[in-house]
Amino acid sequence: MNNHIAFARFHPAALFSYYLCLLLFTMFTENPVITALSLLGALYFCLFTGTARENLNDLKFYAPMFILVALTNPLFSHSGATPLFFMNDNPVTLEAVLAGVNIAATVAAVMLACKGFSRVMESDKLLALFGKASPKLAVVLSMALRFIPLFKRKWRELCDVQKAMGYFRGESRFSRLASYARVFSALVSWALENAADTAASMCARGFELEGKRSFSLFRFTRADGALIAASLALSAPVLAGFAMGKASFYFYPRISELPFDIFSVAMYACFAALSLLPFIFEVKEALKWKYLRSKI
């Protein structure tokens, strides 16, 4: 378990409710303010709860991904009323460039939020949350979260074995590509076998039997209720803003103006508190722990 993450101590239902509210608002809007706030909240939480090596690896992945997504949109979308230059007789517009940046920020925000979700919601919590209502869904979600680190570890093991056997000694790109293809083929075979073994093991344990009882270590407390209440209370003004059109924004054919009236500012403030809630909680717990240690 991620005992070093204070936010992970909440009940699975409270954590799931929070991330559901956060992801829904992040995915279904083009408003750059909401996208930026969601990205900052997810980024701060991942940086605060991750190690230096994990943060460096994330930077190596998310930075090129962000640039690739941002550059792809203006190359394929030529809509917009403000051309910057022409490439192969096709206009590259300011609207398409900014829309690509916003799409890249949205993708990064969703991926980082899912990364934070995977850190606080482990497989046992998913089984406790969905085990009774939908056992198959619980198994699929827990296996998906569990297989991601297993795939990375198995990939490194297979690469080390291939290097020890001398398959990566070729200097040509084709030989290295062929070596990686062998590793990928072995990884896929291992994944399929592992999934089949897991499914057979769950069936042998009677996971789908009706009337079975399940044991759970998680107990719903007042703090969990407070987290759900805070998530709903902060989501209500944002949802009202969406319904009233206060969060509406578009890039085509011209970039629209951001709404910045009193209600819009209140909506942005509520969403900022919602997105930064895990990070604020982690900082508060860290400061509390340092204060208690200073009293010893």
pLDDT band at 135 (very low <50, low <70, confident <90, very high): low
Report the pLDDT averaged over residues 122-133. Answer: 74
Cα–Cα dist 252/102, whole Å: 13
pLDDT band at 17 (very low <50, low <70, confident <90, very high): very high
Alpha-carbon distance values, 203 to 35, 138, 207, 208, 232 (Å): 42, 14, 6, 7, 38
pLDDT band at 233 (very low <50, low <70, confident <90, very high): very high
The pLDDT tens digits for 26-76 are 998 889 999 999 999 999 999 998 888 888 888 888 888 888 888 888 888
Instruction: Identify the H or E element spanning 90.
Output: strand 90-93
* DSSP conformational letter for 89: T
Q: How many other CB atoms are there within 10 angstroms of residue 147's CB atom? A: 15
Cα–Cα dist 98/95, whole Å: 5
The pLDDT tens digits for 152-166 are 788 888 888 877 877
Which residue segment(s) compose the domain that 40 sits in?
Answer: 6-147+221-294
The pLDDT tens digits for 234-286 are 999 999 999 988 888 888 888 888 888 899 999 999 999 999 999 999 999 98
Q: Is residue 141 part of a domain?
A: yes
Which long-range CB contacts under 8 A does 14-18 form with residues at least 24 apart?
14/220, 14/224, 14/225, 14/227, 14/228, 14/231, 15/117, 15/120, 15/121, 15/125, 15/227, 16/121, 16/129, 17/227, 17/228, 17/231, 17/232, 18/227, 18/228, 18/231, 18/277, 18/278
Q: Is residue 36 part of a domain?
A: yes
Q: What is the DSSP string of 174-225?
A: HHHHHHHHHHHHHHHHHHHHHHHHHHHHHHHTTTT-TT----------HHHH
Q: Is residue 33 part of a domain?
A: yes
Q: Is residue 194 part of a domain?
A: no
How many domains is the chain built from?
1
Chain position carrying tokens 């009882």: 213
Q: Is residue 153 part of a domain?
A: no
Cα–Cα dist 34/199, whole Å: 40
Q: Is residue 73 part of a domain?
A: yes
- For the record, the structure tokens of 136 come out as 């198959």
Q: Is residue 88 part of a domain?
A: yes
Cα–Cα dist 282/45, whole Å: 8
pTM: 0.77
Q: Is residue 264 part of a domain?
A: yes
The pLDDT tens digits for 101-116 are 999 999 999 999 988 9
On the question of pLDDT at 230 being above 80, the answer is yes
pLDDT band at 1 (very low <50, low <70, confident <90, very high): low
Alpha-carbon distance values, 6 to 1, 48, 116, 132 (Å): 11, 11, 12, 27
Query: Given this model, what pLDDT does residue 103 score?
Result: 92
Cross-strand bridge partners of residue 85: 92
The pLDDT tens digits for 187-222 are 888 888 887 887 787 777 776 666 666 666 788 899
Query: Given this model, what pLDDT does residue 145 score?
Result: 65
